[in-house]
Chains A and B, each alone.
Chain A
Amino acid sequence: MTAVVTGAAGGIGQALCRRLAEAGHAVVAVDFSPRLEDVVAGLESNGVNVQPVQADLTTASGVEEVAKVTQAMGGLEVLVNNAGITRDSRLVNLGEDDFEAVIAVNLGAAYRLTLALIPQLPIGSIVNISSRAYLGNFGQFNYSMSKGGLVGLTRALAQTLAPSVRVNAVAPGLIGTEMAMGIPDDVRSKMIDAIPAARMGRPEEVAELVAFLASDASSYITGEVLVIGGGRSLSR
Chain B
Amino acid sequence: MVLRCPLPELTAALQAWHEDGTGLVFLADPTTGDEWSDVSKELIEVFRLTRQTLAKGLPVVFVVSNDDLLGRNGPGRAMVATGILSAARTAAVEHRKSRVPVNVIAREDGTDPEVIARWCGLLLEGEAPTGELIHLGSEHIGKALP
CB 8 Å contact bits of A132-162 with B (1 = contact, 0 = none):
0111111111101111111111111111100
Q: Give chain B's interface secondary structure class.
A: helix
Mask of B32-46 contacts with A, CB within 8 angstroms, 1/0 = 000010011001101
Cα A111 to Cα B39 in complex, Å, equals: 11
Pick from B70, B81, B87: contact of A144, CB under 8 Å: B87
Q: Flag if A156 contacts B78 (CB, 8 Å).
A: yes
Query: B residues within 8 A CB of A91?
Result: 50-51, 54, 90-91, 94
* 0/1 string, A101-125, CB within 8 A of B gives 1: 0011001100110000000000000
Q: Is B144 an interface residue (CB 8 A)?
A: yes
Residues A159 and B71 in contact, CB atoms below 8 Å apart: yes
Is B111 an interface position by the 8 A CB rule? no
Question: Is there contact, CB below 8 Å, between B71 and A145?
Answer: no
Known A94-B51, A155-B70, A155-B71; judge A145-B43 contact (CB<8 A). Answer: yes
Quick one: which of A92, A103, A138, A151 contacts B93, CB cutoff 8 A? A138
Kindly state the separation between the CA atoms of A14 and B21 in the bound complex, as whole angstroms.
52
Partner of A104, one of B40, B68, B77, B94: B40
User: With contacts defined as CB atoms under 8 Å apart, how many contacts are there between chain A and chain B in the complex?
Assistant: 132
User: Is there an interface contact between A136 and B83, defined as CB atoms closer than 8 Å?
Assistant: no
A148 and B47: CB pair below 8 A? no
Q: Is the Cβ of A103 less than 8 Å from the Cβ of B82?
A: no
A100 to B69, CA, bound (A): 22
Interface residues on B, range: 35 or more
Of all chain A residues, the one with the shortest Cβ separation from B43 is A103
Interface assignment of B131: CB less than 8 Å from any CB of chain A: yes
Considering the complex, give the chain B residue whose CB is closest to the CB of A154. Answer: B71
**Residues of A contacting B89 in the complex (Cβ-Cβ under 8 angstroms):** 135-136, 144
Given A136-B92, A145-B86; A152-B40 close (CB under 8 Å): no
Complex Cα–Cα for A154 and B75 (A) = 8
Known pairs A108-B36, A223-B71; A149 contacts B91 (CB<8 A)? no
Whether B6 sits at the interface, judged by CB under 8 Å, is no
A sample of 5 inter-chain contacts (CB < 8 A) reads A94-B51, A96-B47, A112-B36, A136-B93, A141-B50
Interface residues of B (CB under 8 A from A): 36, 39-40, 43-44, 46-48, 50-51, 54-55, 68-75, 77-94, 131, 144, 146
